[in-house]
Amino acid sequence: ELTVVGFIGLGRMGLPMVENLLKSGFSVQGFDQSEAARAEVAAAGATACSSAKEAARGADVVITMLPNGSIVRDVLLGEAGVADALSPGAIIVDMSSSAPTDTTYLSEQLQPRGFRLVDAPVSGGRKRAVDGTLTIMAGGEPTVIDAIQPVLEAMSAKIFRTGKIGSGHAMKAINNYVSGAGMVAAMEGVILGETFGLAPEVIVDVLNVSTGRNNTTEVKMKQFVLNRDFGSGFALGLMAKDIGIANDLAEALNLQMGSLAETSVRWKAAQDRLGPDADHTEIYRFLADS
Ligand code: NAD
């Protein structure tokens, strides 16, 4: 039975995910480079560790919830040397939204050393991380996913098995491309209508009972955009990264995808103007004065 979980990356998503693991009875060894995050995880009832290596030591499962796949690779294989501290047979679960190519590389490095990797990125945002109802898309060997199923269930309401290693990360990038393109379309629709003279609330209400509806029209417009709240808890730089991953994947597969390429360019331009730490819903401000 897997009981000790090392958790590296205690940010907007990682911290509430740890809280749900603790609620389900797992013992958690947490690490983040931010001292404030380490204090928060200790207050939540986990063991706060002073290095990634320490968080991995003695853990049955090590979860990473870091900004991107190159940081995950550095933490596991680089100077931080998590791989050197892992227990024999430990399972590493990268729940970050990493690039699938980074994930296959990582798996090739870890496998000969007897460690098993699963990619299990999530959708649902901070709210569902808090509620423990994230959607998980898990790639990797079915028997390895079986072994970590209770760990995943502690954080999730729905677990999809997407196939080979890296397929969860590919699926996540596809989701965020579709979501980010839908967001730009919905926002441009509102800006277009408003400039013509329609009331923004009317535009959103009509879209929501019509075929133009999507998650941005149904949720984000009224919660975060029209009221200028911009507090979704998902950074613009992370969304730009995810759409870039989808675009890189299309290029690697020799697919010409005009909307994907254009969406990737728009999000990167928004990031250049507003900074990576802006909320991703703030792309509205960029689109409104482009
Ligand atoms: P975040 O920036 O809030 O958290 C990342 C954490 O990683 C920070 O606390 C940071 O201090 C820590 N960190 C960075 N480098 C480190 C290192 N080398 N060693 C130790 N700690 C380090 O980001 P987040 O919103 O929690 O996102 C984490 C991942 O989840 C990203 O890949 C993101 O794309 C993905 N994601 C986010 C959301 C969301 O709504 N926020 C939703 C789904 C997926």
Q: What is the mean pLDDT of each run of 10 residues along the chain (290 residues)?
A: 93 98 98 98 98 97 97 92 92 98 96 96 97 98 98 98 98 98 98 98 98 98 98 97 98 97 98 98 96
Give me the residue label for tokens 């995808």.
257
Atom of ligand 1 nearest to the CA of 71: 18
66's enclosing H/E stretch is none
Q: What pLDDT score does 95 carry?
A: 98
User: What residue spans in the chain does CATH classification 3.40.50.720 cover?
Assistant: 4-164
- Where in the chain is CATH 1.10.1040.10? 170-288
How far, in Å, is the centroid of ligand 1 from the Cα of 10? 7
Atom of ligand 1 nearest to the CA of 123: 43
pTM of the complete model beyond 0.90? yes
DSSP state of 19: H
Distance CA 264, CA 250 (A): 12
Residue 81 corresponds to which tokens in the numbers above?
């040397």
Q: How far is CA 241 from CA 8, 10, 233, in A?
A: 20, 19, 16
CA dist 73 and 105 (Å) reads 9
- Report residue 196 as tokens: 């013509």
Q: Which atom of ligand 1 is nearest to the CA of 96?
A: 32
Nearest-CA neighbor of 92 among 175, 32, 9?
9
- The Cα 140–Cα 116 span in angstroms is 9
CA distance linking residue 263 with residue 30, whole number of Å = 36
Ligand 1 geometric centre to CA of 15 (Å): 10
- CB 66 near ligand 1, within 6 Å: yes
Distance 202 CA to ligand 1 centre (A): 36
Ligand 1, atom 9: closest residue by C-alpha: 11
117 membership: H or E segment, kind and range: strand 116-119
* CATH fold group of domain 170-288: N-(1-d-carboxylethyl)-l-norvaline Dehydrogenase; domain 2 (1.10.1040)
Is the CB–ligand 1 distance for residue 186 below 6 Å?
Answer: no
Residue 99 C-alpha to ligand 1 middle, in angstroms? 14
Please work out whether the CB of residue 234 comes within 6 Å of at least one atom of ligand 1.
Answer: yes
Per DSSP, the three-state class of 160 is: strand
Two structure tokens written together for 138: 């898990």
Q: What residue owns the CA closest to ligand 1's atom 29?
A: 96
CA 72/CA 279 separation, integer angstroms: 23
Q: Which residues are catalytic?
A: 172
Pick among 3.40.50.410, 3.10.520.10, 3.40.50.720, 3.40.50.300: CATH of 4-164: 3.40.50.720
Alpha-carbon gap, residue 116 to 186, rounded angstroms = 41
- CA pair distance 90, 108, nearest whole angstrom: 15
**pLDDT at residue 79, rounded to an integer:** 84
Please, what is the end-to-end C-alpha distance for the chain in angstroms? Answer: 55
**What pLDDT is attached to residue 1?**
75
pLDDT at residue number 2: 75
